[in-house]
Homo-oligomer: A and B are copies of this chain.
Amino acid sequence: QIDSARLWGTIHETAKFGATPKGGVRRLTLGPEDKQVRDWFHKACEAAGLEVHVDALGSMFGLRKGRDMSKAPIGLGSHLDTQPTGGKYDGVLGTLAALEVVRTLNDAGIETETPICICNWTNEEGSRFAPAMMASAAYVGDFTTDDILSRKDAEGITVAQALDSIGYRGATAVGTQKFSGFVELHIEQGPILEAENKTIGVVDSGQGVLWYDGKITGFESHAGSTPMPLRRDALATLSEIVLAMENIAKKHGPKAVGTIGEAVIANPSRNVIPGEIAFTVDCRSADDAIMDALDRDLRAAIAEIAARRKVEVQFDLIWRKPPTHFDPKLVDAVENAAKMLGYSHRRITSGAGHDACNLNTVMPAAMVFVPCKDGISHNELEDATQADCAAGANVLMHTVLALAGV
């Protein structure tokens, strides 16, 4: 059994790095608060006897030796970055639970056959730089390191510049650290476990993701003197797109969701009809055919709206992450650990994307979910209980022990 109070203590200790007045955390990837939590994590890993290295995209790896060093380690961990108005648990729980597993094994003097390696992946959130799960995507070869290094945030700062500015452009090439499997603990970020009163979610699949960049070009003109029929209003166009996307997602529901999270009017003014708007779209489904349908329906709706309103809409798919089907053996291992520990559990699909979803494409991977209050995440009010966090960390530890061998 891990030390529940110690785990809970580290979660609340690190929550001060980027703490917001409403009880959440704002710790954008590779910003000053991310540097603070990284420095804290680096020290904690070294204090736990781990050999730490950082890769060229800033992902952090803490290696605990096993008896058989010829074997690639079992990886565990998650991420320490957050959304602009994020919570204290998303990513943090999985990373600090991995540290807690090491501390527990150290205290108990347990040596594993296969080494284990705890991880903090760079830019899982995808909020400052696209795509989400950026570093693990590069790790599995979906993008080259150079491509990722050149991605820019809204201020035009590249990933390379951001890494350098906090001193986390590491020495090892992306992909150097090998794993024989990966297990990630995370809060569910959805309402199912809580509603069904289950402690553990045995994650067997994950939704695919479509990310788009859009730009509407209408025509700026005077709010007072331009008759309604002559307008080419970019915001009215966006409004139709938002509602069309909502209807399309509902039509394919409950197996699909769609969100427009960003929309910025160029040179806004109260008495000017908006002429240009940049926006982003996030659509998801666990079903490949539905993902295709979402893409098709959305493009058709946008084309119709643009033609009718005589505006131009540029609409580019910038990321497609197929649905995830986690490794059946590792999923069973998670389930067995939950059973063995006597926790109530159910199989579950992840609504969110995770680094484990990327890693699963090149190694066996699986995930453990614990409930979060009202299913709320990506919100400062995100909450989870100490008991559930500890239960998840125990399932994580026993899954890893089963895989690594004692």
Contacts and interface: CB of A to CB of B under 8 A. Distances in A.
A280 B223 CA distance: 12
A246 interface: yes
Contacts of A41: none
Interface stretch (A97-105, A135-143, A230-238): A230-238
A271 B275 contact: no
Interface in A119-169: 125-127, 130, 132
Contacts of A243: 236, 239-240, 243
B261 A189 contact: no
A52 interface: no
B239 A378 contact: no
A257 B220 contact: no
A402 to B, nearest CB: 28
Number of copies: 2
A221 B189 CA distance: 9
B267 A224 contact: no
A19 interface: no
A250 B236 CA distance: 13
Contacts of A284: 223-224
A20 B66 CA distance: 65
Contacts of A261: 223, 235, 265, 268-274
Interface residues of A, number: 72
Given A221-B377, A221-B378, A235-B263, A226 B275 contact: no
A378 B228 contact: no
A242 to B, nearest CB: 4
A126 to B, nearest CB: 6
Nearest to A211: B270
A227 interface: yes
A353 interface: yes
A262 interface: yes
Interface in A191-217: 191, 207, 209, 211
B242 A235 contact: yes
A263 B265 contact: yes
A190 interface: yes
Interface in A30-87: 83-85
A301 interface: no
Nearest to A84: B267
Interface string A292-308: 00000000000000000
27 contacts: A83-B269, A83-B271, A83-B272, A132-B271, A189-B222, A189-B224, A211-B270, A221-B375, A221-B379, A222-B378, A222-B379, A224-B257, A224-B284, A224-B351, A228-B246, A228-B250, A228-B256, A228-B258, A229-B250, A229-B253, A230-B375, A239-B242, A262-B270, A264-B268, A271-B282, A271-B378, A275-B379
Interface of A: 83-85, 125-127, 130, 132, 188-191, 207, 209, 211, 219-230, 233, 235-236, 238-240, 242-243, 246, 249-250, 253-254, 256-265, 267-275, 280, 282, 284, 350-353, 375-380
Given A225-B350, A228-B249, A235-B261, 11 more contacts: A84-B269, A132-B271, A189-B224, A222-B352, A223-B282, A228-B246, A233-B259, A239-B242, A260-B274, A261-B271, A264-B268
